[in-house]
Structure 1
Amino acid sequence: MQRYDWGSYDALPRLTGRAPGDQPEAELWFGAHEAAPSGVPAPDGDTDLAVLYEANPEALVGADAVRLFNGRFPLLLKVLAPTKSLSIQCHPSREQALDAPPGTYVDNWPKPEAFVAITPFEAFAGMRDYDEIVTLLPGLDVPELSAIVEWSSGQDEPAVALLEALLTLDLQVRNSLVRSVLGAISDRDDDPAFAAVRRVAQDFPGDIGLVVLLTMTYLTAAPGDYVFVPAGCLHAYQKGIAVEVMANSDNVIRAGLTSKAINIPELLRIVRPRSEPVRRREPVGRVRDYGSDTDYFHLYAVGSGSEPTPIPGAGPRIVLSLLDSSTISSGGTSLELASGDGAFLAPGEEVTVEGTGTLFVAATG
Structure 2
Amino acid sequence: MTDMPPAILPPASFQQRLLDWFDEHGRHDLPWQHDRSPYRVWVSEIMLQQTQVATVIPYFERFMTRFPDVASLAAADQDEVLHLWTGLGYYARGRNLHKAARVVVEEHGGAFPVHSLEAMAALPGIGRSTAGAIIAQSTGRRAVILDGNVKRVLTRLHAVEGWPGRPAVERRLWALAEHYTPDERLVDFTQAMMDLGATLCRRGQPACDRCPFEAACVAHARGEEKRFPESKPKKAVPTRATTMLLLQDRDGCVLLEQRPSSGLWGGLWSLPQFDDVEALQAWLDVHAPGSELAPAWTPFTHVFSHFRLEITPQPARIGRLDSVGEARCWYDPCDPASIGLAAPVKALLASLAPFSLTTTAGP
Alignment TM class, shorter chain as reference: under 0.3
**Higher strand fraction: Structure 1 or Structure 2?**
1
**Higher helix fraction: Structure 1 or Structure 2?**
2
Q: What TM-score does the superposition give when structure 1 sets the normalisation length?
A: 0.24
Q: What TM-score does the superposition give when structure 2 sets the normalisation length?
A: 0.24
Question: Which protein has greater RCO, CA pairs closer than 8 Å, 6+ apart?
Answer: 1
Q: If you compute each CA radius of gyration, which structure gives the higher value, 1 or 2? A: 2
